[in-house]
Amino acid sequence: METKVKRTHSIESISFYKKIKPEEEELFVLKYKALTKVIPGLVEDFSIDINLFKYLIAKNSQNANFCKFYLIQEHDAINFGMTFSNTKTFEVEKEDKLYVLNSKLFVESNLNDFNKFINNFNSGINSRLIQNINCETKMVYYDLEIVKNYIDTLELHFKIDNLKFNFIQYSDIDSNGNHLPNYEKINNKISFSVHANVKDIYNNTIVSIGYDFGTIYP
């Protein structure tokens, strides 16, 4: 991943591959929010504690190449399940390290519960999504080195409070009716953009621009 860093206190000067243009993200967020009006259990965003996330990365990076975020369902609401894995495949392997988001913290899970939450999503919220948008997203996986590089580079300049994941629904048409070729193959799919909430030198909270590092499955 190419990273450009200027020695300045502006977070906009730190640019990563697969940056989402703000106007495009706004469109994708609005499109997703329309789904939340017709499909119960969808939420607009998640935040995760950066210190615990960094600890889990350090703990698992020696034995894993990928960080995989699964869309799961607990009770009636969508949630995140996370695994550290050596494979890009959707199937959860017994060697994978499994976690489920609880508030902003990832807590350890086991294979039986994790698969139950996946199945709950597939038979629940995901089935209603397919009926509405005629496509599905079950998982988004990330190269672990890219995630580490993203966090490490930001922390050269800022103190990260947390990472915020905004749910989005891709569109291959912008708000003016123009074609967006980069999103043609994933049009209508659900995913999320990643933002870092950071503190500047004056202790003001700044939200970084959104990034889309992940690969969607299916």
17 vs 34, more confident: 34
Q: pTM for the full model?
A: 0.89
Which amino acid, one-letter code, is at 62? Answer: Q
Structure tokens, 125: 């919220």
Q: What percent of the chain has pLDDT over 90?
A: 74
Query: Residue ranges per domain, the chain?
Result: 22-217
CB 196 within 8 A of CB 208: yes
CB 165 within 8 A of CB 106: no
The residues, any chain, with a CB within 8 Å of residue 157's CB and separated by 6 or more, are: 5, 9, 11, 14
Residue 173: the pLDDT is 96
Res 3 pLDDT > 70: no
Average pLDDT across the chain, whole number: 89
Q: Note the pLDDT tens digit of each residue in 50-68.
A: 999 999 999 999 999 999 9
CB 68 within 8 A of CB 141: yes
Q: Note the pLDDT tens digit of each residue in 73-108.
A: 998 999 999 999 999 999 999 999 999 999 999 999
pLDDT band at 199; cut points 50, 70, 90? confident
Q: Note the pLDDT tens digit of each residue in 144-175.
A: 998 998 889 888 878 888 999 999 999 999 99
Residue 17: the pLDDT is 53
